[in-house]
C-alpha cells in the first residue's frame, strides 16, 4: 500500500493493547460447555471447541465475533485448564483489521480483510472504499501471526469469502464460489453480524448464484462459511379462525392498529407467505398500512392493498415459524370514509418446502364512522437525545425521549416498540425501562433478535391532555467504540387509544425521527460502599478483621486495575498507632497483591497504603473488593485501645486502570474517595457478661430437697467476638447463721443451657470448678443453673447463697477473660404451710332451677415453701334434698363424683399444689326435681369446705376443722327473670303515657306465676302522675284481674295467678299532668327491697301480713311447686335474688 494511503488508514485508528488480562479462575466441578468463553488466571481468553481450549489472538479478535461480549466470559475452572490448547482463533472472516505496528506479517497502517483465517491486504484506500468498506468499522491491533493471502487490488473484483453484501435488497454472505442466503433476522443476529458491516454487492458478486441458506449459529461455531446449505423449516401447517376473532363493530375512519382478523396456525413449519383480500364496501386505500402481529409484537412492516383488494405478505426466509400453535392477528391503520364497511379474508398461505394452500377465512365486517379522535403529536427525539460522540458506558442512559402533546381528550398507552440500529452488540444493552412523566410504567430485560424492545404495561397508562414526557432508559454495559440509535420505526408501534371511542390514535409529529446516535467511548469503573460493609465493633487484638467492603462495576470494556490506595484513619488514640498489621485486599474473596501494614499516618488525618492488584474487571459484572487487617499496632511500643475508631477509605486515583480494548487510562475511583463505615474497637471478653436471672427470685424451701435449683444466671455474649468458655467456678456462702452451708449440699452439678456438666458428690465452700468446652456466640445468651440435693440438718430461717465466675478465651483475639464473681439467689430453709380460702371466682348468691348442673363453689389452696398434695376433701351442704350428685372439678375436668348428701368426702385424691403456688378446685351440684315428693323448693344448697388432708415433704397435714363457706344457692322448680324493654318513646308529654316496659320470663325453666308487681315512680317538681294500669304489651290489652293503685309507689296486684311458661311483655301506663316544663321528667323502675325468707303464702311473701319482711316485696312470684297450688299454698316468694332486680330506671324527659 502506498505511504499516503497507509497514513490515511492509520490516522483514523487508535492503537490498542493486544493482550487480554482477566481475573483469576475459580474451580468448578467440570469443564464448561462447548462454545463457552473462559479466561485463565494469566488473563488469556479462549473458547472451548471440540474438547480444546482455543485462545483468541487479541481483544480485537475476540470482539470481531459480534456474538461475543465481555459479560459472557467466565473464569476457567480446573477442568478447563486441563484441556489441551488448540489453534489460535483469528479475527472473524469479513473483519477489516488494521496493523498498529510493523511486526511479522503486519505493516503499520496497512489494513487487511480477514478471509479464510488469512489476511488479504488492500493495496489502496480507493480499492478499500470502492468495495464499500469503512475505516470506522475496522479493528486495530496485532495481526502479525496471520498468514497473508493475495492482496485485494481492484474494486471491481468479487468480494472475498466472509463478506456480507446487499444484493438488490437481499443480504447474503459471500462464499468461495457462491453466495449463501440468510433466512431471517434471527439467523443474522445469531452470528453477531451488524448491518453496518454490510457492503453493496458489485457486478462480480451478482454474477454468483446462491448455493445454500445459512443456518443459525450453535455454540462452538465460529464461521458460517463452512456450513452446508440448510433450508428453511418446512412441514405441515393448518390454519383456522381463532376463537377470539374480532366481532363486528364500529371503527373510526382515521384510527390506527385496528384488529380485523385473528387466525390460529397449528402444526410445524415456517410460513413464507400469507395472502389476504379486502372485503366489504370500501376502497383499497381505506386500509392504509396492514401488518401481521403476534400479540403485541409486530412481525412485518406495513403493506398496502394492491389492485383488486389483494394483500400479500412474503419473505423467502420466513414470515414466522409455527411449532405447535401460533395466533396471528391482521392489523391495519385506516384512512376510510364514514358509511364504508371493511374487513379482510385470508385466502392462502405457503409453508417452506410445500405448495401454496388456499383457504377462505373471513373476518367480520366493521362499520366505518366518523369521529374526532384525540391527537398525539411527538416532538423530535433528536432534540431530547442529542448525538453523543463520547458516551460513557453506564446504567440509566436515556436512549429515546420525546414530549407527547395530547389534544382533545386523554389517551391510553397500551404498548410501545422501539428499534435499535448500530454496531453495538445487543447483549451490551440491558434493563430497558419506559417512563411516563417520571413514573416507571413498563420494563423489558433486553432487545429481541430483531433489535426491538417491546413494552407492554400491566394496565393501560393514561396520557392526560397536555404535554407528557416519555422516555426510555437502558443500561449500557459494554460496547466500547461501538454505537447505537433508537427510533420508533412505525407510528403504529405506539399503541395509543382514544379514551372516549376506544379507537387507535396514529402518533403524529416527529415520532419517526430517530434519537441521536450514541457513540460509546472507553470503559469506566464505578465504586460504591457495599451495602453489607461492616458496621459492628472491631475486636481488640483480633486478627484478619474485615475493615471495609466496596462494589466495583465496570462499563464499556474490561478495565485492568493496576493498583488501589486505601486511607486508614484512627480516632481517639490515633497519634500513638502508626499502622495496623497484616492488611490485604481481596477481589470476590481472592487476595490480590501483597500483605502489608495499613498506615494510619500516626495522626487523625490518616495514612495511605497502596496495593498492586493487577485485576481485570468484566463489563456489567460487579466485583466485591474487601479490605482486611489485624486490630494490632505495627509498633509494639504503642497499642490499640478499646474505644478507638477505625475507618478505611478507597482513595480517588489517577490513571490506575486501563481499558483493554481502547487502551485509555481510567481512574478508580474517579475523583471522589469512597469511605467505608467507621467502626469502634471493643474488648470481646466476659466483663459484665454474667447476671443473676431476674425471673428466678430468692427462694424459701423446706428441707431436705432433691435436685433443687440453688441459683440461676444469664451468661451474655459480647457484641464483638465469640468466647470459648472453659471453666465455671462456684462458691457457697452462709447468709443467715451457719447451719445452712456447703456441708448440707451433695450431688451438685451445673446446667449450661441444655448441657449437664459433671455431678460432684461433695463440694467445698469455694473454688468448686467445672471444666467445659462451649462457644458463647457473640450477642447470644445462655442460662447457667446450679442444682444440688439439700440435707435435713438445717435450722428453719437459715440461708445460703451461690456465687459464680465464668472463664474463657476470646475466639478472634485469643485473650483470656472471665466474668466478675456474681451472687445468685438466696435460698432459705423454711417451714411449709398450706391454706384454704373461698376463691374470687366462686359464684355469688343466686336462685336457680332444678334439673341442671350448676357450679356452687370454688376454693383456693395455697402452698408456701413446700410442695403439697391434696389427698382428702370434705364438704357440707346446707340442704341436700334437691342435690343428686356432687362433682369435684379441676377446671373443666371432673376429678371425682359423689352422690348428693349433707356431708360429702372425697378420698384418695392426688392433686398437686406447687410450692409458693396455688390450685383452685370447684364444686358442681347435679340438681334434681323440685316439688311435692321430691326436692324441697327454695332449699339453700350452700357448700362449705369443712376438712382437708395433704401430704408434703414433712409428712401428712390434716385440717379437720375448716369452715370455708361459699355463697348460698337456692333451688326452685322454676325461676323468673325480669328484663327492661325499650320504651316506645322517651319524650314526656301530657296524657296517658307508657312509663315502664319490661319482660317477665321463666328462662326455659318451666312455669312461673306472679301475683304482685310494685313500681317506684319519681316525677320532677310540678309533674303529676296518676291512674296506673298494667297492660299486656304483646296483646295490646289491659291485664285482666290486675288492679293498680298509687302514684309514686304503684302496686299492681292480681286476684289470680298470672302464669308464664315462656316470656311475656308488660307496660305500665299512667296519666301525666301538671306543669311539664323543659327538663321535666318521670322515672320508673322495679325495686328490690327484700331479704330472704323461706317460701310462704302469697300474703306472707308479699309482706302484707308481715311475713318476716321489714318492707313489702316489689315482685311476688311462685314456682308452683306445691300440690294444688293457689294463693294460700306455701310456694310463694319475694323479689330476693330475682335476676335483673332492681331494674334500671326508664325515664321520659321533656
pLDDT digits (tens, 9 = 90+) for 649-699: 999 999 999 988 777 889 999 889 999 999 998 878 898 899 999 999 999
pLDDT at 245 over 60: yes
Inter-residue contact 439 to 385 (CB < 8 Å)? no
Question: What is the per-residue pLDDT for 27?
Answer: 31
Q: Which of 357-361, 680-684, 898-902, 1087-1091 has the highest mean pLDDT?
A: 898-902
Our measurement of the distance from residue 321's CA atom to the centroid of its chain's CA atoms, rounded to an integer in Å, reads 40
Q: In this predicted model, which residue has the larger pLDDT, 687 or 235? A: 687
pLDDT at 220 over 50: yes
> What H or E segment, with its residue span, contains residue 758?
none
Question: What is the per-residue pLDDT for 953?
Answer: 84
Characterize the bridge pairing of strands 1115-1118 and 1132-1133: antiparallel
Within a 10 A sphere around the Cβ of 984, how many other Cβ atoms? 11
pLDDT at 466 over 80: yes
Question: What is the per-residue pLDDT for 1128?
Answer: 92
Question: What is the per-residue pLDDT for 6?
Answer: 27
Place of cell 469479513: 94
d(CA 1131, CA 1097): 6
Question: What is the per-residue pLDDT for 143?
Answer: 79
- pLDDT, tens digit (0-9, with 9 covering 90-100), for 21-35: 333 323 334 788 888
Question: What is the per-residue pLDDT for 177?
Answer: 79
d(CA 946, CA 754): 46
- pLDDT, tens digit (0-9, with 9 covering 90-100), for 1092-1108: 889 999 988 887 554 44
Instruction: Show the cell assigned to 616.
Output: 481485570
In the chain, the percentage of residues whose pLDDT exceeds 70 is 95
Q: In this predicted model, which residue has the larger pLDDT, 318 or 1081? A: 1081
In the chain, the percentage of residues whose pLDDT exceeds 90 is 65
- Number of residues that this document lists for the chain: 1150
- pLDDT, tens digit (0-9, with 9 covering 90-100), for 34-45: 889 999 888 889
Q: In this predicted model, which residue has the larger pLDDT, 73 or 184? A: 73
Question: What is the per-residue pLDDT for 1104?
Answer: 56
* Angle at CA of residue 777, ends 772 and 781, nearest 5°: 85
Query: For 204, phi and psi rounded to 5 degrees?
Result: -65, -35
pLDDT band at 12 (very low <50, low <70, confident <90, very high): very low
> What H or E segment, with its residue span, contains residue 59?
helix 59-64
Within a 10 A sphere around the Cβ of 509, how many other Cβ atoms? 17
pLDDT at 1115 over 50: yes
Q: Which domains does the chain have, with CATH numbers?
A: 3-226 (no CATH), 237-369 (2.60.40), 375-520 (2.60.40), 524-682 (2.60.40), 690-829 (2.60.40), 833-972 (2.60.40), 977-1149 (2.60.40)
DSSP string, 603-637: STT-EEEEEEEEEE--BT--EEEEEEE-SSBSSTT
Q: Is 576 helix (H, G, I), strand (E, B) or coil?
A: helix
- Residue range 964-991: mean pLDDT, rounded: 96
pLDDT at 180 over 60: yes
Cis check for the bond before 704: say yes or no (omega within 30 of 0): yes
SS3 content of the chain, % helix, strand, coil (to 5): 5, 50, 45
Question: What is the per-residue pLDDT for 575?
Answer: 56
Question: What is the per-residue pLDDT for 4?
Answer: 30
Burial 524-550 (b: 16+ CB within 10 A, else e): bbbbebbeebbeebbbbbbeebbbbbb
Q: For residue 587, which of 662, 650, 543 has the smallest C-alpha distance?
A: 650
* Mean pLDDT, the chain, integer: 89
- pLDDT, tens digit (0-9, with 9 covering 90-100), for 123-137: 888 888 889 988 878
Q: Which residues contact 220 (CB under 8 A, 6 or more apart)?
A: 34, 35, 47, 48, 49, 50
- pLDDT, tens digit (0-9, with 9 covering 90-100), for 587-608: 999 999 999 999 988 777 788 9
Inter-residue contact 450 to 190 (CB < 8 Å)? no
The burial of 816, by beta-carbon neighbours within 10 Å (0-12 exposed, 13-18 middle, 19 or more buried), is given as: exposed
Q: For residue 1068, which of 1013, 1039, 1028 has the smallest C-alpha distance?
A: 1028
pLDDT at 226 over 80: no
Question: What is the per-residue pLDDT for 525?
Answer: 92
Instruction: Show the cell assigned to 31.
Output: 469443564
Inter-residue contact 379 to 403 (CB < 8 Å)? yes
Instruction: Show the cell assigned to 1046.
Output: 298509687
- Its pTM stands at 0.46
Place of cell 500483605: 595
Query: For 237, phi and psi rounded to 5 degrees?
Result: -130, 135
- Residue range 182-202: mean pLDDT, rounded: 86
d(CA 41, CA 75): 8
Cis check for the bond before 1142: say yes or no (omega within 30 of 0): yes
d(CA 1086, CA 998): 10
Q: Which residues contact 889 (CB under 8 A, 6 or more apart)?
A: 855, 895, 921, 922, 923, 924
pLDDT at 15 over 60: no
- pLDDT, tens digit (0-9, with 9 covering 90-100), for 482-526: 889 999 998 889 999 999 999 999 999 999 999 999 998 888 899
Inter-residue contact 445 to 549 (CB < 8 Å)? no
pLDDT at 610 over 50: yes
- pLDDT, tens digit (0-9, with 9 covering 90-100), for 533-572: 999 888 888 889 999 999 999 988 889 999 999 999 988 6
Query: For 1040, phi and psi rounded to 5 degrees?
Result: -70, 150
pLDDT at 2 over 50: no
- Residue range 879-902: mean pLDDT, rounded: 96
Instruction: Show the cell assigned to 444.
Output: 423489558
For residue 531, how many C-alpha atoms fall within 13 Å in the half-sphere facing its CB? 0
pLDDT band at 189 (very low <50, low <70, confident <90, very high): confident
Q: Which of 86-95, 420-429, 540-549 has the highest mean pLDDT?
A: 540-549
Amino acid at each position: 500500500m502506498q505511504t499516503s494511503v497507509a497514513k490515511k488508514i492509520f490516522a483514523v485508528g487508535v492503537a490498542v493493547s493486544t493482550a487480554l488480562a482477566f481475573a483469576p479462575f475459580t474451580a468448578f466441578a467440570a469443564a464448561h460447555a462447548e462454545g463457552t468463553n473462559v479466561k485463565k488466571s494469566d488473563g488469556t481468553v479462549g473458547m472451548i471447541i471440540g474438547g480444546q481450549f482455543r485462545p483468541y489472538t487479541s481483544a480485537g479478535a475476540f470482539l470481531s465475533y459480534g456474538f461475543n461480549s465481555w459479560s459472557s466470559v467466565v473464569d476457567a475452572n480446573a477442568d478447563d485448564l486441563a484441556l489441551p490448547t488448540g489453534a489460535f482463533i483469528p479475527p472473524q472472516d469479513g473483519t477489516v483489521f488494521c496493523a498498529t505496528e510493523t511486526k511479522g506479517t503486519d505493516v503499520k497502517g496497512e489494513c487487511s480483510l480477514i478471509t479464510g483465517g488469512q489476511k488479504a491486504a488492500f493495496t489502496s484506500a480507493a480499492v478499500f472504499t470502492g468495495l464499500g468498506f469503512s475505516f470506522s468499522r475496522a479493528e486495530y491491533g496485532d495481526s502479525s501471526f496471520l498468514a497473508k493471502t493475495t492482496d485485494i487490488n481492484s474494486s471491481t473484483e468479487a468480494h472475498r469469502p466472509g463478506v456480507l453484501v446487499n444484493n438488490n435488497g437481499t443480504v447474503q454472505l459471500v462464499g468461495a464460489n457462491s453466495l449463501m442466503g440468510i433466512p431471517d433476522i434471527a439467523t443474522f443476529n445469531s452470528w453477531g453480524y451488524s448491518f453496518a458491516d454490510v457492503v453493496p454487492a458489485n457486478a462480480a458478486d451478482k454474477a454468483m448464484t446462491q448455493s445454500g441458506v445459512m443456518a443459525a449459529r450453535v455454540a462452538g461455531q465460529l464461521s458460517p462459511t463452512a456450513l452446508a446449505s440448510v433450508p428453511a423449516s418446512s412441514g405441515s401447517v393448518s390454519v383456522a379462525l381463532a376463537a377470539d376473532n374480532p366481532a363486528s363493530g364500529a371503527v373510526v375512519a382515521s384510527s390506527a392498529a385496528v384488529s380485523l382478523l385473528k387466525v390460529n396456525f397449528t402444526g410445524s413449519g415456517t410460513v413464507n407467505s400469507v395472502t389476504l383480500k379486502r372485503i366489504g364496501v370500501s376502497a383499497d386505500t381505506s386500509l392504509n398500512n396492514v401488518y401481521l402481529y403476534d400479540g403485541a409484537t409486530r412481525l412485518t412492516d406495513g403493506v398496502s392493498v394492491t389492485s383488486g383488494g389483494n394483500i400479500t405478505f412474503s419473505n423467502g426466509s420466513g414470515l414466522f415459524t409455527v411449532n405447535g400453535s401460533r395466533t396471528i392477528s391482521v392489523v391495519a391503520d385506516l384512512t376510510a370514509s364514514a358509511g364504508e364497511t371493511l374487513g379482510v379474508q385470508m385466502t392462502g398461505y405457503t409453508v417452506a418446502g410445500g405448495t401454496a394452500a388456499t383457504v377462505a377465512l373471513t373476518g367480520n365486517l366493521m362499520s366505518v364512522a366518523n369521529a374526532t379522535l384525540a391527537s398525539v403529536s411527538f416532538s423530535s427525539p433528536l432534540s431530547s437525545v442529542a448525538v453523543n460522540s463520547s458516551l460513557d458506558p453506564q446504567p440509566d442512559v436515556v436512549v429515546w425521549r420525546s414530549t407527547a402533546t395530547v389534544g382533545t381528550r386523554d389517551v391510553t398507552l397500551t404498548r410501545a416498540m422501539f428499534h435499535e440500529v448500530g454496531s453495538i452488540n445487543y447483549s451490551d444493552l440491558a434493563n430497558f425501562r419506559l417512563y411516563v412523566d417520571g413514573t416507571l410504567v413498563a420494563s423489558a430485560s433486553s432487545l429481541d433478535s430483531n433489535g426491538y424492545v417491546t413494552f407492554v404495561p400491566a394496565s393501560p397508562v393514561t396520557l392526560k391532555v397536555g404535554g407528557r414526557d416519555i422516555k426510555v432508559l437502558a443500561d449500557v454495559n459494554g460496547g466500547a467504540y461501538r454505537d447505537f440509535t433508537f427510533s420508533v420505526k412505525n407510528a403504529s408501534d405506539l399503541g395509543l387509544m382514544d379514551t372516549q371511542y376506544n379507537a387507535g390514535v396514529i402518533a403524529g409529529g416527529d415520532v419517526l425521527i430517530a434519537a441521536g446516535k450514541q457513540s460509546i467511548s472507553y470503559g469506566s469503573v464505578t465504586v460504591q460502599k457495599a451495602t453489607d460493609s461492616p458496621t459492628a465493633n472491631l475486636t481488640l487484638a483480633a486478627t484478619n478483621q474485615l475493615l471495609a467492603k466496596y462494589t466495583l462495576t465496570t462499563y464499556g470494556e474490561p478495565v485492568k486495575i493496576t493498583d488501589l490506595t486505601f486511607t486508614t484513619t484512627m480516632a481517639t488514640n490515633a497519634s500513638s498507632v502508626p499502622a495496623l498489621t497484616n492488611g490485604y485486599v481481596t477481589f470476590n474473596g481472592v487476595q490480590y497483591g501483597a500483605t502489608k501494614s495499613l498506615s494510619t499516618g500516626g495522626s487523625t488525618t490518616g495514612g495511605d497504603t497502596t496495593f498492586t492488584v493487577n485485576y481485570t474487571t468484566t463489563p456489567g459484572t460487579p466485583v466485591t473488593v474487601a479490605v482486611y487487617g489485624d486490630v494490632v499496632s505495627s509498633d509494639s511500643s504503642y497499642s490499640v485501645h478499646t474505644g478507638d475508631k477505625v475507618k478505611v477509605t478507597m482513595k480517588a486515583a489517577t490513571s490506575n486502570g486501563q481499558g483493554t480494548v481502547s487502551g485509555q487510562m481510567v481512574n478508580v475511583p474517579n475523583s471522589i474517595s469512597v469511605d467505608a463505615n467507621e467502626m469502634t474497637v471493643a474488648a470481646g471478653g466476659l466483663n459484665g457478661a454474667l447476671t443473676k436471672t431476674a425471673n428466678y427470685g430468692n427462694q424459701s424451701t423446706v428441707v431436705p430437697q432433691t435436685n433443687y435449683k440453688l441459683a440461676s444466671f444469664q451468661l451474655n455474649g459480647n457484641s464483638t467476638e465469640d468466647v470459648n468458655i472453659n471453666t465455671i467456678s462456684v462458691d457457697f456462702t452462709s447468709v443467715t447463721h451457719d447451719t445452712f452451708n456447703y456441708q448440707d449440699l451433695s450431688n451438685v452439678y451445673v446446667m449450661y443451657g441444655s448441657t449437664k456438666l459433671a455431678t460432684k458428690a461433695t463440694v467445698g465452700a469455694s473454688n468448686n470448678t467445672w471444666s467445659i468446652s462451649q462457644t458463647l456466640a457473640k450477642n447470644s445468651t445462655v442460662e447457667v443453673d446450679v442444682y444440688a440435693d439439700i440435707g435435713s440438718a438445717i435450722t428453719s430461717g437459715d440461708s445460703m447463697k451461690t456465687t459464680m465466675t465464668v472463664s474463657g478465651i476470646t475466639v478472634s483475639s485469643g485473650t483470656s477473660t472471665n466474668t466478675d464473681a456474681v451472687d445468685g439467689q438466696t435460698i432459705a430453709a423454711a417451714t411449709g404451710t398450706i391454706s384454704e380460702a373461698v376463691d374470687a371466682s366462686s359464684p355469688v348468691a343466686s336462685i336457680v332451677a332444678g334439673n341442671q348442673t350448676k357450679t356452687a363453689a370454688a376454693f383456693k389452696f395455697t402452698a408456701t415453701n413446700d410442695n403439697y398434695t391434696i389427698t382428702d376433701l370434705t364438704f357440707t351442704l346446707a340442704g341436700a334434698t334437691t342435690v343428686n350428685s356432687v362433682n369435684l372439678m379441676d377446671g373443666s375436668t371432673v376429678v371425682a363424683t359423689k352422690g348428693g348428701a349433707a356431708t360429702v368426702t372425697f378420698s384418695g385424691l392426688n392433686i398437686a399444689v406447687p410450692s409458693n403456688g396455688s390450685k383452685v378446685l370447684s364444686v358442681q351440684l347435679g340438681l334434681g326435681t323440685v316439688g311435692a315428693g321430691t326436692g324441697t323448693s327454695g332449699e339453700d344448697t350452700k357448700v362449705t369446705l369443712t376438712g382437708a388432708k395433704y401430704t408434703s415433704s414433712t409428712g401428712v397435714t390434716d385440717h379437720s376443722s375448716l369452715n370455708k363457706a361459699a355463697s348460698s344457692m337456692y333451688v326452685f322448680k322454676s325461676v323468673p327473670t325480669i328484663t327492661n324493654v325499650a320504651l316506645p318513646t322517651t319524650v314526656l308529654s301530657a296524657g296517658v303515657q307508657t312509663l315502664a316496659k319490661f319482660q317477665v320470663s321463666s328462662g326455659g325453666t318451666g312455669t312461673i306465676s306472679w301475683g304482685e308487681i310494685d313500681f317506684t315512680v319519681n316525677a320532677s317538681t310540678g309533674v303529676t302522675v296518676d291512674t296506673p294500669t298494667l297492660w299486656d304489651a304483646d296483646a295490646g290489652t289491659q291485664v285482666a284481674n290486675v288492679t293498680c293503685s298509687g302514684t309514686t309507689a304503684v302496686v299492681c296486684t292480681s286476684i289470680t295467678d298470672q302464669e308464664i311458661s315462656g316470656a311475656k311483655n308488660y307496660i305500665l301506663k299512667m296519666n301525666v299532668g301538671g306543669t311539664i316544663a323543659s327538663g321535666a321528667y318521670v322515672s320508673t323502675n322495679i325495686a328490690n327491697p327484700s331479704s330472704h325468707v323461706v317460701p310462704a303464702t302469697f300474703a306472707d311473701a308479699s309482706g302484707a301480713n308481715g311475713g318476716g319482711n321489714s318492707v313489702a316485696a316489689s315482685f311476688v312470684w311462685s314456682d308452683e311447686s306445691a300440690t294444688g297450688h293457689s294463693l294460700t299454698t306455701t310456694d310463694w316468694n319475694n323479689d330476693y335474688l330475682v335476676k335483673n332486680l332492681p331494674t334500671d330506671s326508664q325515664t321520659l324527659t321533656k
